[in-house]
């Protein structure tokens, strides 16, 4: 319950009698006692960068350049450029380390 059922304002958390927490409306006398405390959070798993950019097939016919990998300090990296913002913004350059054991992805 996040909104007051009487005037539909956002309910605020306040300390009630006996140091128990409750939801209370700032504009009317509505009060709702909180009975269960939530102590854990679950975060969704983020997608890998490859899925956003077309998977491993997107890296098959790309050029390489002299760029230092921030993970393994290898001196060469594959790169590709994509327009990720509006047309008046510069293109985003994505890199992948040429060291096959590392294969770290980053962007510039």
Q: Are residues 55 and 5 in the same domain?
A: no
**Of 52 and 77, more confident:** 77
The reply to whether 98 sits in an annotated binding site is: no
Q: In what order do the strands lie in the sheet with 12-15?
A: 12-15, 21-24, 31-33
Q: Are residues 62 and 85 in the same domain?
A: yes
Containing structural domain, residue 62 = 49-107
Q: Are residues 53 and 83 in the same domain?
A: yes
- State how far the Cα of 107 lies from the Cα of 56, in Å rounded to an integer: 16
Q: Are residues 38 and 59 in the same domain?
A: no
- State how far the Cα of 43 lies from the Cα of 108, in Å rounded to an integer: 27
Quickly count: other Cβ atoms within 10 Å of residue 95's Cβ.
22
* Predicted local distance difference test score (pLDDT) of residue 39: 81
* pTM recorded for the entire structure: 0.50
Q: Are residues 95 and 70 in the same domain?
A: yes
* Predicted local distance difference test score (pLDDT) of residue 26: 92
């Amino acid at each position: 319950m996040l909104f007051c059922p009487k005037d539909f304002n956002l309910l605020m958390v306040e300390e009630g009698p006996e140091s128990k927490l409750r939801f209370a409306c700032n504009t009317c006398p509505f009060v709702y006692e909180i009975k269960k405390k939530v102590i854990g959070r679950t975060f969704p798993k983020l997608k890998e960068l490859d899925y956003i950019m077309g998977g491993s097939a997107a890296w098959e016919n790309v050029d390489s350049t002299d760029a230092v990998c921030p993970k393994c300090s290898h001196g060469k990296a594959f790169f590709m450029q994509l327009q990720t913002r509006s047309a008046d913004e510069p293109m985003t350059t994505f890199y992948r380390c040429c060291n096959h054991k590392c294969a770290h992805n980053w962007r510039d």
